[in-house]
């Protein structure tokens, strides 16, 4: 899909097929990472440090770091902090534990260290998170230099969308929760975002857990932007781009299945056409609530007849790819929402096994749906154009050349891609 700069949708893709061992790691390494991750999650308090992870993996620190960067796209230390904070959310919400008790249960050496890690991951204090047990609204603390206008512009890129509406600083988004269809309202102000879940009944704890996670995703608060900026500002190519947009966050879709469907819809067509197809899908199979329509569930989308879509300007192939993918998810052959719990290498391989999904679609989903931080969507025309411009090349790089050029930005290729896309806006304005 050809993307206008500033409208960060899926650009045109030639859809190269996945190469063996994407990102330079094989199946055995992916299996080792996933086995280690499962072992740690089963007894999170037993793993209080990177050395404890290294002992469990039977490897030295350097090998462990390479394993985690290839498969989790973060360092072992960052991964362990994130997993502890996630485990603490369940303890706080389900059991109403104190911050001190939660810190001890997930293996933090001190309550102060736990509070710092929890705030970074959840954007609220442990006490505020525990308070979700008694209400349907909460507040997230936004980072310094947070560029809310960019995030809201992404969500409002289709003024005719029946799924989300942006009115000034407010985003209204129809979502599917454990309680059914609801509307997530996010009102963004300097330093904070007020979030409220509007549903037909009092929200359950599971629905509030999901609403919090969805709000983090929609606001782009799942990435380590300060770490990326410290890395990028030292790079002579990426540094000038990032300096212009300090505080730029990469918003995700409400869930991974949404991103997967959007990427299929966007293959090899322009943005306006893809948005129109998305509206058709929402109208045909989405759940209505309060004047909005939530994205279809896999089951509702899989129940559509391809002929119904082809009458709505879909190509036969695109209709079949979309419905077949939804059917695979509905049947349990693929769980998009679980991809982030495992290896990025395994996730890419699982996606590209589906009919009609190549490297570009898979990497776009890893970046925009799963939230992996080091995914470069090779095959993306806008990314190739941006790289041609910043490198001063006399022609657009090929897919293999894009892959090679983006390696210098590892382990932050997702955020680097977002800044490279944004740089095209400067060219339009003649900067």
CA distance 70 to 68: 5
Amino acid 3: pLDDT: 39
Amino acid 248: pLDDT: 97
Amino acid 12: pLDDT: 44
Amino acid 27: pLDDT: 73
pTM, entire model: 0.92
Amino acid 425: pLDDT: 83
pLDDT under 70: residue ranges of the chain: 1-26, 427-431
CA atoms within 13 A on the CB side of 165: 10
- Phi first, then psi: what are they for 197, rounded to 5°? -105, 120
In the chain, where are the structural domains located? 23-122, 136-244, 251-428
Same CATH fold, 251-428 and 136-244? no
Amino acid 428: pLDDT: 64
Locate 388 and state its tokens.
């041609």
Amino acid 11: pLDDT: 41
Amino acid 202: pLDDT: 84
Whether domain 136-244 has CATH 3.30.310.20: the reply is yes
CATH class of 23-122: mainly alpha
Distances (CA, A) of 198 to 123, 177, 180, 232: 21, 11, 11, 39
CA distance 179 to 309: 29
Locate 30 and state its tokens.
């992916």
Amino acid 113: pLDDT: 94
Whether domain 251-428 has CATH 1.10.340.30: the reply is yes
The answer to whether 164 and 173 have CB atoms below 8 angstroms apart is yes
Beta strand ranges found along 263-313 (DSSP E): 287-289, 292-294
**Each residue's pLDDT tens digit, 19-40:** 434 433 567 999 999 999 999 9
CA distance 179 to 174: 13
């Amino acid at each position: 899909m050809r993307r206008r700069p500033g409208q960060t949708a899926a650009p045109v893709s030639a859809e190269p097929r996945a190469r063996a061992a994407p990102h330079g790691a094989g199946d055995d390494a992916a299996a080792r990472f996933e086995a280690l991750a499962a072992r740690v999650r089963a007894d999170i308090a037993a793993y209080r440090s990177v050395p404890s992870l290294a002992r469990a993996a039977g490897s030295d620190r350097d090998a462990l770091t390479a394993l985690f960067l290839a498969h989790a796209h973060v360092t072992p230390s960052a991964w362990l902090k994130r997993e502890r904070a996630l485990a603490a959310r369940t303890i706080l919400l389900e059991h109403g534990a104190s911050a001190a008790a939660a810190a001890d249960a997930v293996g933090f050496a001190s309550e102060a260290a736990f509070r710092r890690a929890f705030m970074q991951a959840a954007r609220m204090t442990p006490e505020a998170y525990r308070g979700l047990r008694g209400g349907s609204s909460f507040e997230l603390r936004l980072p310094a230099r947070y560029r809310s206008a960019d995030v809201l512009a992404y969500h409002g890129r289709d003024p005719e969308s029946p799924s989300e509406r942006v009115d000034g600083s407010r985003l209204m988004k129809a979502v599917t929760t454990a309680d059914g269809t609801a509307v997530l309202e996010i009102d963004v102000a300097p330093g904070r975002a007020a979030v409220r879940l509007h549903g037909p009944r009092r929200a359950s704890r599971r629905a509030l857990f999901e609403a919090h996670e969805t709000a983090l995703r929609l606001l782009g608060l799942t990435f380590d932007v300060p770490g990326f900026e410290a890395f990028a500002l030292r790079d002579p190519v990426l540094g000038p781009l990032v300096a212009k947009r300090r505080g730029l966050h990469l918003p995700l879709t409400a869930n991974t299945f949404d991103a997967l469907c959007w990427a299929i819809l966007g293959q090899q067509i322009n943005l306006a056409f893809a948005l129109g197809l998305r509206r058709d899908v929402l109208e045909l199979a989405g759940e209505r609530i309060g004047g909005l329509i939530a994205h279809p569930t896999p089951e509702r989308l899989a129940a559509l007849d391809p002929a119904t879509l082809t009458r709505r300007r879909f190509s036969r192939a695109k209709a079949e790819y979309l419905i077949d993918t939804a059917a695979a998810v509905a049947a349990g052959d693929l769980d998009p929402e679980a991809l982030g719990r495992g290896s990025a290498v395994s996730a890419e391989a699982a996606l590209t096994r589906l009919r009609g999904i190549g490297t570009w679609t898979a990497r776009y989903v890893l970046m925009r749906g799963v939230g992996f931080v080091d995914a470069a969507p090779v095959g993306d025309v806008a990314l190739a154009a941006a790289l041609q411009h910043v490198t001063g090349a006399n022609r657009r790089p090929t897919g293999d050349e894009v892959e090679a050029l983006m390696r210098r930005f590892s382990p932050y290729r997702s955020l680097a891609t977002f800044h490279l896309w944004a740089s095209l806006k400067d060219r339009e304005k003649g900067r």
